[in-house]
Structure 1
Amino acid sequence: MVSPSDHMANERTFLAWIRTGVALIGFGFVIAKFALFLQILKGVKGTGESVTFGEVMIVLGAVVIMYGLLIYYLTEKDLDNGTYKSRHVINSVFAMLVLIIAVTLALLVI
């Protein structure tokens, strides 16, 4: 039998996905705005890459929020049906996708 605490735990996990996505979006804005600030302040050229990295972080944050929403709904459906199953495959694929994006961005900075 599913208890209310199961649903509350699912909501807490969803809120953690939201916090992570918002942090990535905020960090993306900081990267993009700081690059523009340097360009205005010092006349530094070539900050277009930093703006692009910031934009990628913003999009990644939005993707994280959408992924969290998907997992939240799938888990709620499973809890309501009493058929909860692990999502280790989709979570692993998502983690690898984020890791690939992070490594690619890191290599482009060098």
Structure 2
Amino acid sequence: MPDDENRRRPIDLAQQYLANERTFLSWLRTSIALIGLGFVVARFGLFLREFQLVVIQREVEAAASSSNNVIQQLPEHSFSSILGVLMIALGVALIFYSLKSYRDGNKEIESGVYVPKKSVVYTGAILLAIFGGATILYLLTVSLMM
């Protein structure tokens, strides 16, 4: 049966390589989703700023005052913009990590010694939970202000 064993070995390695590739692609999908969500969160801050500007302009027009001073009082960077940029940065960092993990995984499969990396899963989950919690707090704060 040595011939039968030799036939299975390349297929087993191929399956491991393909599983490593699927894992890489799932990390890329997660990164793209995180970047997209970060963009939406950052643009939400811009929407709130513009909405605030429209409301203030109407108040100023009602008082027959100049709106230039009011525009200068608006904050330039809102919390959602900062949070969105941080989420985008996390997505980009995750792309680089996933590429490194993919390459390391291929080397480990070739050498016959593969050790799963659990720390990134825990770190990613904790960071996403923190960003999600911060977004919830921000949205609650904004809704209470309006």
- Correspondence for 1:65 among 80, 89, 95: 95
When normalised by structure 2's length, the TM-score is 0.61
Distance 1:17 1:78 in 2: 19
Is residue 42–residue 82 contact of structure 2 (8 Å, CA) maintained in 1? yes
CA gap 1:4/1:24 in 2 versus in 1, 3 angstroms: same
Give the root-mean-square deviation of aligned CA atoms: 2.6
Deviation at residue 13 of structure 1 after TM alignment? 0.4
Segments of structure 1 that go 5 or more residues without pairing to the other structure are none
CA deviation digits over 1:54-79, x for unaligned, max 9? 11110111122122112111111100
When normalised by structure 1's length, the TM-score is 0.78
Is residue 20–residue 106 contact of structure 2 (8 Å, CA) maintained in 1? yes
- Correspondence for 1:25 among 35, 55, 65: 35
Distance 1:22 1:96 in 2: 16
- Correspondence for 2:22 among 6, 12, 33: 12
Structure with the greater alpha carbon radius of gyration? 2
The number of residue pairs the alignment matches comes to 109
Q: How does 1:29-44 map to 2 (within 5 A)?
A: 29-43=39-53
Segments of structure 2 that go 5 or more residues without pairing to the other structure are 1-8, 56-73, 142-146
- What SS is found at the alignment partner of 1:54? helix
Identity %: 36
Distance 2:105 2:18 in 1: 12
CA gap 1:32/1:99 in 2 versus in 1, 3 angstroms: closer
